């Protein structure tokens, strides 16, 4: 977030939107796990599938965002912090993709009969 701020182009606005939305959703999942809300709440939600969908959509959004960020800022001469933001976007995409893969494996193992 800090590398891409302030947003000077529309691409950076999109990038920061994705970063903030994914940050907030990840914080929400951390609170859910930290407070053990999955076990306490007796609601009919498939928590693993919900987190898998969230993580998969974050992966897709991050992939689009870092591509847009890097493609726009690669043309500018003094854009090192925005290029760094795009590179961190690549790392976050890889992290979310790994999380989505592990959630998929867990979801498949709980749904086999």
Q: How far are the Cα atoms of 1, 4, 67, 107 from residue 74, in angstroms, in the given order?
A: 18, 13, 11, 39
At 6-55, the pLDDT tens digits run 888 888 999 999 999 999 999 999 999 999 888 888 888 889 999 999 99
Six-digit token string for 11: 């691409």
CA atoms within 13 A on the CB side of 13: 3
Q: How far are the Cα atoms of 9, 38, 70, 97 from residue 86, in angstroms, in the given order?
A: 14, 34, 5, 16
Instruction: State the pLDDT at residue 41.
Output: 86
Sign of the alpha-carbon torsion through 63, 56, 3, 11:
positive
The owner of tokens 């407070």 is 35
At 56-88, the pLDDT tens digits run 999 999 999 999 999 998 887 777 888 999 999
Cα 111 from Cα 6, distance rounded (Å): 45
pTM: 0.88
């Amino acid at each position: 977030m800090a590398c891409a701020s302030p947003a000077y182009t529309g691409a950076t606005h999109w990038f920061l939107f994705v970063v903030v939305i994914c940050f907030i959703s990840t914080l929400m999942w951390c609170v859910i796990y930290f407070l053990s809300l999955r076990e306490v709440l007796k609601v009919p939600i498939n928590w693993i599938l919900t987190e898998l969908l969230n993580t998969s959509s974050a992966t897709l959004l991050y992939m689009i965002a870092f591509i847009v960020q890097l493609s726009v800022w690669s043309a500018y001469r003094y854009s090192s912090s925005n290029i760094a933001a795009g590179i961190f976007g690549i790392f976050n995409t890889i992290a979310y993709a790994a999380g989505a893969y592990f959630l998929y494996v867990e979801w498949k193992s709980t749904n086999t009969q």
